[in-house]
C-alpha cells in the first residue's frame, strides 16, 4: 500500500493521532520499516516526550530501530528527543517554566534530515495538545512543512474522534492520510464502526497492512 504514496518527496512525515495511546509510536515503527523496504534511509524526530523518568521510552525504542535501518543516522537520544519532561501531561503543562525554542526545533529538524531520505516526526498526544498557550501539536505540522499521517482508533467512539481530527487538519490546509490502528475493540470494529467508515470514506488504510 505504501508504494502508492510518494511520502519521500516531502522529506518529512509527521505522525499524529486522535489522542494519546492510539498508536503513534507503533505507526512510526510501521512507516519506518515500510519506507526502509523501499530503499529509503529513514530518520526519526520526537520534539517532545513527557512522562520521562530515566529515559524517553518511546524515543529510545524508535532510535534503536532507526539505527538498525539506517546506520548513518548517528545521533543520540538528546538529538532526536530534545525536550524531555517528567510529568506525563501536555507539553504546555509538563514543561513548567521551560521556554520552547521553535527556531531550535527547526534547526534540529534540518540537522536530522541531513542523514536520511525521510524524517519521521512523532507528535505528542493528539493534534490539539498544547505546547504554548496558542500553539498546538497540529501547528508543528505546518511549521515543519510536513505531510501528516493521522492514526485513528478502532474503538467505540473512534468515528467521532476521527472526523473531528480530520476537520482540524482540513481547517489548516494540511495534506494528510489517516490509518486505522486495529487494536482497541478490534473484535467489534467490523460491526460497530466499519459500516459508517467504509460508506463515508472512499478508501480505508490500516496500520497492520503496511
Q: Is 70 exposed, middle or buried (0-12, 13-18, 19+ CB in 10 A)?
A: buried
Query: Annotated binding site for Mg(2+), which residues?
Result: 25, 58, 122
Query: Annotated binding site, which residues?
Result: 21-26, 50, 58, 122-125, 202-205
Cβ pair 83, 49 in contact under 8 A: yes
Cβ pair 154, 185 in contact under 8 A: yes
CA torsion 164-155-3-12 (nearest 10°) is 50
Bridge partners (DSSP) of residue 181 are 153
170 catalytically annotated? no
Query: Annotated binding site for ATP, which residues?
Result: 21-26, 58, 122-125, 202-205
Query: Annotated binding site for substrate, which residues?
Result: 50
Identify the CA nearest to 131 among candidates 44, 45, 53, 48.
48
| Catalytic one of 29, 30, 41, 46 | 46
Measured CA distances, 185 to 27, 98, 152, 197 (Å)? 18, 38, 13, 15
Q: Which residues are catalytic?
A: 46
Amino acid at each position: 500500500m505504501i508504494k502508492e504514496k510518494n511520502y519521500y518527496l516531502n522529506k518529512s512525515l509527521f505522525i499524529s493521532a486522535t489522542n494519546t495511546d492510539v498508536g503513534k509510536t507503533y505507526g512510526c515503527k510501521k512507516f519506518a520499516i515500510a519506507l526502509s523496504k523501499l530503499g529509503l534511509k529513514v530518520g526519526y524526530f520526537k520534539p517532545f516526550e513527557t512522562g520521562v523518568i530515566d529515559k524517553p521510552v518511546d524515543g529510545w525504542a524508535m532510535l534503536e530501530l532507526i539505527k538498525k535501518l539506517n546506520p548513518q543516522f548517528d545521533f543520540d537520544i538528546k538529538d532526536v528527543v530534545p525536550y524531555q519532561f517528567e510529568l506525563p501531561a501536555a507539553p504546555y503543562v509538563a514543561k513548567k517554566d521551560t521556554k520552547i525554542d521553535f527556531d531550535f526545533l527547526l534547526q534540529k529538524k534540518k540537522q536530522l534530515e541531513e542523514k536520511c531520505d525521510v524524517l519521521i516526526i512523532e507528535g505528542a498526544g493528539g493534534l490539539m495538545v498544547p505546547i504554548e498557550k496558542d500553539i498546538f501539536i497540529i501547528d508543528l505540522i505546518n511549521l515543519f512543512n510536513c505531510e501528516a499521517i493521522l492514526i485513528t482508533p478502532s474503538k467505540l467512539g473512534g468515528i467521532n474522534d476521527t472526523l473531528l481530527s480530520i476537520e482540524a487538519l482540513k481547517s489548516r490546509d494540511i495534506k494528510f492520510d489517516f490509518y486505522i490502528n486495529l487494536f482497541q475493540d478490534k473484535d467489534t470494529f467490523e460491526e460497530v464502526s466499519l459500516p459508517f467508515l467504509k460508506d463515508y470514506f472512499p478508501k480505508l488504510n490500516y496500520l497492520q497492512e503496511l
